[in-house]
Structure 1
Amino acid sequence: MATVAAETRDILDELKKRRVRFLLLQFTDLLGVNKAVEVPASQFERALAGEVIFDGSALEGFARVEEADALLLPDLASFRVFPWESGGGAGGGGGAGDRTDGDAEGTVARLICDIRYPDGRPFEGCPRTALQRQIE
């Protein structure tokens, strides 16, 4: 089994090799709706380290304003480069027919994430965390 550091290096190498420009950090809200935070190439290392913060108060069922900040902790095993390029804008949204020039300028990858409090504790409202607790 690879170490987290080795997995992170492998992912960073793949992102560079495939000329990925955007990384989607995907998570699920309490209503079962998939959400994503899109980060540019300049933020890939921070994203893989679980250092991307988002405003949880903006999402249905997440947190009150005073508990707004949340971290996205990626599951490195969920890494995938999409076989299409982004149509642009937050969350990608591209399709197979968006670009035909062979240019990888809009290539997008994704990681599925767990939601954590800023201090690293698991967020009780994260569906993935709830499932992991039940499995254990």
Structure 2
Amino acid sequence: ASTRIEMRNPDPSCNPYLAIAVMLKAGLDGIKKRISPPAAVNQNIYALSPEEKAVLGIRSLPGSLMEALEELKHDEVIKCALGKHAYSRFVEAKQLEWDDYRTKVTPWEIEQYLTKF
């Protein structure tokens, strides 16, 4: 049996250099700390109930950019991988992006609420 890994670009809109730097740092951190991967789940996780996911140790990803930024604040591996300057500029840019997004009124909101109230 051979040992291999598969690395996929997490998002086509991301900076591939920063993404690869963070993935490499996370992988090396896992090796250094001897972190074992979780057991394989051979089920359709989208069909599982929240209780079944909890039993299997499956956590949901952040549901919004703001939730992702909150998680990022606690991730020392990513801070180290990006360096202080790039990390702080990245967080600043994403905070501005979130602020811009959350203050926009969408056509769905207008249709859903304006005519009802």
Larger radius of gyration: 2
Structure showing the higher helix proportion among its residues: 2
TM-score by length of 2: 0.24
TM-score by length of 1: 0.22
Structure showing the higher strand proportion among its residues: 1
